[in-house]
Chains A and B, each alone.
Chain A
Amino acid sequence: MITTSHYLVLSLVLFSLGIVGIVVRRNFITVLMCVELILNAANVNFIAFAHQLGDLTGQVFAVFVITIAAAEAAIGLGIIVALVRLKRTVNLDQVSVMEG
């Protein structure tokens, strides 16, 4: 029988893989994809608890999370396009303008 805990474990694994990707990858585009992965893991949590509690508020907030994810993707990809115009690279190690 599938319980909420199964979904939480799946969400945990997806979230961890997203964090690992952000830390490990140096390609800006892949890092953005990992952020999408993390937001999706948050959505799995929202839906799992909405299902367990029989309350639709979690589903409403999943809609908001998806909206924010779309806005974040648009901004991030806009930054990538501007970055490639200025620096001709998407490697995060080569764009440490702010000494990060």
Chain B
Amino acid sequence: MDFFVANFAAIVFYALAAVAVAGALGVIALRHPVHAALSLLATFLAVAGLFVLQRAEFIAAVQILIYAGGVMVLFLFVIMLVNVRTLPDESQFLRRLAPVAGALGVLLAVLVGIGAWAATSRPPADPAPLVQVAGETAGNTEAVGWNLYRDYLLPFEVVSIVLLVAMIGAIVMGRKELQEKEGRP
């Protein structure tokens, strides 16, 4: 029992990291798009848990609201709408890439090894959960909001324009007139 109490953060990290990596593997390995989307959902939720572990509670909530709530519903909705019955055959494309995949796999193993070495040789940082904002102690959401609207107000406005452009673009591409003008082969 003492072992679990002492290593609680490490156990939670490894469990969530395993779920995240397994979900990512599922995204690229599962054939059916709905299964891949649900696998991606597992990854998003696990990463949100990791954010909580790093005291980024606001980002974790945003991750669940926007990714798991918005983007994932959008994906599933489009998959249902498109309803592709014939899934493309991908095996012959894979065989040509085998040497490249091998080289990249070796590179990944080297990088993970370097990271594991660095993890054991460097002392961990552990900042305080609460931060100072304008001379007062504040929670995570308040501090992020303070930073966002004071220091990064211009990027915030630019991002709102990006969202507007994306919305208009999606609406224009989703119109029916496109089909009638081009004609179907």
Binding site for B on A (CB under 8 A): 1-10, 12-14, 16-18, 20-21, 23-27, 29-30, 32-34, 36-37, 40, 43-44, 47-48, 50-54, 56-57, 59-60, 62-64, 66-75, 77-82, 84-86, 88-91, 93-94
Contacts and interface: CB of A to CB of B under 8 A. Distances in A.
Contacts of B62: 63, 66
Interface residues of B, number: 84
A68 B158 CA distance: 11
Contacts of A47: 50-51, 54, 56, 59
Q: Looking at chain A's contact residues, is the secondary structure mostly helix, strand, loop, or mixed?
A: helix
Nearest to A81: B174
Contact of B127 (A7, A12, A54): A54
A19 to B, nearest CB: 8
Given A29-B75, A84-B82, A17 B21 contact: yes
Interface of B: 9-10, 13, 17, 20-21, 24-25, 27-28, 33, 36-37, 40, 43-44, 47, 50-51, 53-56, 58-59, 62-63, 66-67, 70-71, 74-75, 78-79, 81-82, 84, 87-88, 90, 93-94, 97, 101, 104, 108, 111-112, 115-116, 118-119, 122-125, 127-128, 131, 140, 143-144, 147-148, 151-152, 155, 159, 162-163, 165-167, 169-174, 178-179, 182, 184
Contacts of A71: 162-163, 165-166
B38 to A, nearest CB: 11
